[in-house]
Amino acid sequence: MSALIVITNAPDRDTALKIARALIERKLAACVNILAECTSVYRWQGKLETATEVPLLIKTRAAIYPDLEAAIKSLHPYELPEIVAVAIERGLPEYLEWVGAETVTEIG
């Protein structure tokens, strides 16, 4: 089983919790870490922006990434949410087995 850590940012803790709970309930993620608020600095539509955001680290199967991405987009209030997946090359085998057991093997 190939696993991923998917990163996104929410505008506030309530939105982060809403996204996390929905992903867990749908078995699209085994675990979602909601981190402390951070400050993001970026350019959007030609303007320099600064925003407070809440990062999420989402552990999932690579095979269901498209469904996870679609779910995040549907739940997220941003016009263009950050959704970045990083492959897990190595990890505690028992933990990775747990990620696999807690997520659906395929959608549809």
Residue 78 CA to residue 92 CA, distance in Å, equals 34
Tell me if the pTM is above 0.85. yes
**Does residue 27 surpass a pLDDT of 80?**
yes
pLDDT digits (tens, 9 = 90+) for 51-84: 999 999 999 999 999 999 999 999 999 999 999 9
Domain 3-92 belongs to what topology? Answer: Alpha-Beta Plaits (3.30.70)
The structural domains of the chain, with segments of one domain joined by +, span 3-92
**Does residue 9 surpass a pLDDT of 90?**
yes
Report the residue count for the chain. Answer: 108
pLDDT digits (tens, 9 = 90+) for 77-108: 999 999 999 999 999 999 999 999 999 976 65
pLDDT at 108: 57
- HSE of 108 in the Cβ direction (CA atoms, 13 Å)? 4
